[in-house]
Structure 1
């Protein structure tokens, strides 16, 4: 620090001295460590939460969610809806530019929504707009969305990251390669994507004054838990997710770091392919639920930072309907297996994404199932091949998956999106994610009824029926609801994690 200047120093010398003495602007560069690779940058064509979260750097939709998971306007300023919830007139924000300098307007919304709805493109988030019949441009700042049936929940679907608005110019320029680029209206501009990292820089023409506060953001894919923790403790990353549960206290004791705990809508389950033996037998599926000690699973795998699933959806989801937790009863499990013709158990395999926590979870399942003679081979799969292995089968008969340990975060906050993509017959791959190949006519009727009405009482009745039927038919081993754990440098403020695991970078700052 320059404490004093000698009075005889000439003006030019004084200026030079001050230039050396005062600190230059220090770039605010944030590094975030995540557990899985980022598979692409087209939010309309992504399945996994890590990739979708990363696209929030660049993209926005007409609506979004606040910290309490309530729908708020983003690129929309407001909307009007008819009493029957079939016509939405959305008033758009003005003077917003895409990163390529082209204007955001009603035509851009129509182009994006028509693209997402196009069945020939088979975009993975197409079902978000299943209720939409047509999109009309009223004027530059107004768009009209007409639905096929009453849809009070449409704003929730438009708030999903998968319904983000991409620059029409970029869609035309990059075509099918748009997933390797990112041109939106968001707070950051795409710089580069490599196998293990994504780089973004500040959008200097962002429509919100004074934001973003960071200069650069790098997301680094670091599957190994120890490596992510080491990055955080060494200052190479300022935020890591997930934080391994066993490291929560270690991070909390570090004077430069803090542990962040966020209630979530993320469920963990093991899907059972109900079209393949022995999982086509209800008694077998019930037995597997009885043989897993859910409290021990949470204690050993998540160090206590979770709760047992007591419904097919998390308590934070609209129209959640509590069931009874499947009790731990190995004797009952053995009885059911014997009745189903498997007194000595059977052999199978379980797939899961390759990371430390998933490996620990499936090893726990392997040990528990061995107690009733079920011999389970663990098959880790890399995220990059999951699309083909899990969701690439053109027919149910082609599907190779037998069991899959995974998670689901229904990022609309509504029961329909929590259930339909995973449990409807219309959601068999490659359309969506029903890798249990579960099919129940009562569930189909109730899902259709719940989606096609604006009456809250009818929706509640519909989703109550779905959840009870699914619970009783056990297409999954129902396991846990997460408490999200992350590690953060104390000088990082304003980075918000949502209940579906996604990160909001807009107000993040390094102090």
Structure 2
């Protein structure tokens, strides 16, 4: 299996999901529909299986729940596990499961169903990027609502990993056919899938939910790939929520909605925008001096002003300050044209307007995709102009989402714009999936493909205790920084827009969630 942030989606249809969704959505958008939250997403999620790496996180989060939720700044919050304890030098995890909980098909959530789910992913080779799977030794039932998981060593980031959306969350054992295929997406969560297709999804409230029930009765999710259409629908009062990780807003779109009198919320995100250098494809990038020149050759503050209206802080590190175990903080590199020119001059790259060495021009192809990161093309044009001023000829290659997913894993680029995974997957999600050469990254690709990083990553994932983990991670972070194996760009914000019907909007702690908790819809 190849692991991706967002795989190209495949069609999915099951008997319980045969309602006429197009009609439902048109009705919801045309009528006031006061009991239904109307949300737009950029892409369809036709396969909602909790075991697969394909659906948008936000939709799966409505259905499936974890043992432990990721709270503010990574604080563990009880969910399907009421409490837990570690023993035997943190190699034995005892979980007290919440009582009187059922899946929405009526099947009980208990020790047996929990163990059935855990064995789907723990100890499975494809999931070795998750430390809890990599170091899994066994699981046993203590009683109907208590289980014990054993590990071969203490697990770095265990509490974060137990909050992941996939493949960690719990689906009903009877929602799966004998051949392993899914009958229907059934979890313990507060929402039940009523309909799902390429045009959108319909959810109704789980009135038997064990926790705080949502105050409104349904969620209608409409697939709107075009961001302008999403903004227009928001302005015409056809939507209640847009933004976040499922349908990102640019700062310009956020400003447009503000000027229209719509409530726009700006929140600090947990992802980092970075530049990847493909040292294997372009020999010039194999030179540290060239990478250094690029790193100080562009203005991060100007990029933030253009892309995010100044709301994004320039980045000096791989992971942002809100991410646990993100290491020593460094100031972002400041553009220094003379330093960049001198670095290139000293490395033998001379000439004007573009430099060359030994008959080779200093030319780079930059891969961008506005579908993947809104504003990428504009950022590419800034790089083209500013790096051109130091003698680097940059060609901007703009592609759609599908083409990026094809070209990135093949490393068919010289420079490309990436994003780290963010909460709850970091730090270990980005460290392993974006840098470990022995794990297939799928369509997400690798920020840096350097086998010398592998032992440093192994040391970090095998370190025992938070202090040792942080120390080992710092060695990895320092190696990236000292060798300029990537260029940190910005810590992007997250924009949300909410209609006048929405009260009690709370920004979720991760971009993998919709902000429905605590929300009230006015009539």
1:73 aligns with 2:75: no
Structure 2 Cα separation of the partners of residues 322 and 374 of structure 1: 32
Sort the Cα spacing of 1:56 and 1:87 in 2 relative to 1 into closer, same or farther, 3 A. same
Structure 2 Cα separation of the partners of residues 434 and 389 of structure 1: 9
Match of 2:23 in 1: none
Match of 1:245 in 2: 251
Sort the Cα spacing of 1:284 and 1:446 in 2 relative to 1 into closer, same or farther, 3 A. same
Give ranges in structure 1 of 5+ residues lacking alignment: 1-24, 392-397
C-alpha contact (below 8 Å) 1:86/1:149 kept by paired residues: yes
- Superposed, 1:33-52 pairs within 5 Å as 33-38=40-45, 40-46=47-53, 51-52=56-57
Sort the Cα spacing of 1:83 and 1:126 in 2 relative to 1 into closer, same or farther, 3 A. closer
Sort the Cα spacing of 1:281 and 1:45 in 2 relative to 1 into closer, same or farther, 3 A. farther
1:415 aligns with 2:418: no
What secondary structure does 1:88 align onto?
strand
Segment of structure 1 superposing worse, 106-115 or 291-300: 106-115
Structure 1 Cα separation of the partners of residues 383 and 105 of structure 2: 49
C-alpha contact (below 8 Å) 2:40/2:221 kept by paired residues: yes
The structure 1 residue matched to 2:417, chosen from 405, 411, 414, is 405
Structure 2 Cα separation of the partners of residues 109 and 401 of structure 1: 44
- Superposed, 1:40-439 pairs within 5 Å as 40-46=47-53, 51-82=56-87, 84-117=89-122, 119=124, 122=126, 129-151=133-155, 153-162=157-166, 163-172=168-177, 175-176=180-181, 181-208=184-211, 211-241=213-243, 242-255=248-261, 257-278=262-283, 279-320=285-326, 321-337=328-344, 339=347, 343=356, 344-352=361-369, 354=371, 356-371=374-389, 372-383=391-402, 388-391=406-409, 399-412=411-424, 414-430=426-442, 433-439=444-450
C-alpha contact (below 8 Å) 2:123/2:134 kept by paired residues: no
Structure 1 Cα separation of the partners of residues 404 and 97 of structure 2: 37
Match of 1:455 in 2: 465
Match of 1:509 in 2: 520
C-alpha contact (below 8 Å) 1:137/1:143 kept by paired residues: yes
- Following superposition, the deviation at residue 80 of structure 1 comes to 1.4
How many residues are paired up? 471
1:480 aligns with 2:490: yes
C-alpha contact (below 8 Å) 2:131/2:461 kept by paired residues: no
Write out per-residue CA displacement over residues 386-414 of structure 1, whole angstroms, 9 at most, x where no aligned residue. Answer: 655444xxxxxx54354332322332365
Normalised TM-score (structure 1)? 0.83
What secondary structure does 2:139 align onto?
strand
- Following superposition, the deviation at residue 72 of structure 1 comes to 0.5
- Following superposition, the deviation at residue 314 of structure 1 comes to 0.5
- Following superposition, the deviation at residue 253 of structure 1 comes to 4.6
Structure 2 Cα separation of the partners of residues 507 and 174 of structure 1: 40
Sort the Cα spacing of 1:243 and 1:347 in 2 relative to 1 into closer, same or farther, 3 A. closer
Write out per-residue CA displacement over residues 170-222 of structure 1, whole angstroms, 9 at most, x where no aligned residue. Answer: 233683557xx52111111112222242221211221125x122222122333
Structure 1 Cα separation of the partners of residues 382 and 179 of structure 2: 45
Structure 2 Cα separation of the partners of residues 56 and 457 of structure 1: 31
C-alpha contact (below 8 Å) 1:427/1:434 kept by paired residues: no
C-alpha contact (below 8 Å) 1:316/1:413 kept by paired residues: no
Sort the Cα spacing of 1:346 and 1:165 in 2 relative to 1 into closer, same or farther, 3 A. same
Structure 2 Cα separation of the partners of residues 238 and 55 of structure 1: 20
Sort the Cα spacing of 1:386 and 1:79 in 2 relative to 1 into closer, same or farther, 3 A. farther
Write out per-residue CA displacement over residues 428-450 of structure 1, whole angstroms, 9 at most, x where no aligned residue. Answer: 434x9552342253x43443333
C-alpha contact (below 8 Å) 1:268/1:406 kept by paired residues: yes
Sort the Cα spacing of 1:447 and 1:177 in 2 relative to 1 into closer, same or farther, 3 A. same
What secondary structure does 1:305 align onto?
coil
Normalised TM-score (structure 2)? 0.81
C-alpha contact (below 8 Å) 2:365/2:414 kept by paired residues: yes
Write out per-residue CA displacement over residues 259-295 of structure 1, whole angstroms, 9 at most, x where no aligned residue. Answer: 1121221111122223222333333322221222111
**Hey, which of these two has a bigger chunk of helix by percent?**
1
Structure 2 Cα separation of the partners of residues 462 and 124 of structure 1: 19
Sort the Cα spacing of 1:326 and 1:237 in 2 relative to 1 into closer, same or farther, 3 A. same
Structure 2 Cα separation of the partners of residues 326 and 347 of structure 1: 21
What secondary structure does 2:438 align onto?
helix
- Following superposition, the deviation at residue 67 of structure 1 comes to 4.0
Structure 2 Cα separation of the partners of residues 39 and 479 of structure 1: 33
